[in-house]
Amino acid sequence: MRFDWINILTTVIFVSIVVTLILAVASYFAYKVREARRPKTAAELRQEGEMKAFFHQYQPPK
């Protein structure tokens, strides 16, 4: 039996390129989702002008 190497190689190349492109876009999407879900760092909270604390800051009566 004689193998048609060109067709086999084409299929391999075609499938790998398509799969990689899909994987690349999906990975980028996954990265963006992970970043969106990540808790904010202290520096980010400072930048936004808010500071989360485990207790409410005591404000002395005027």
Site of interaction with other proteins (CB under 8 A): 6-7, 9-10, 13-14, 16-18, 20-21, 23-25, 27-38, 41-44, 47-49
Whose structure tokens read 């004689």? 2
Number of helical (H) and strand (E) elements in the chain, helices listed first: 2, 0
The CB-of-41 to other proteins minimum distance in angstroms stands at: 7
Whole-angstrom CA distances from 28 to 18, 22, 33, 35 are 16, 10, 9, 11
- Give the nearest distance from C-beta 58 to other proteins in angstroms: 24
Min dist. Cβ of residue 17 to other proteins (A): 5
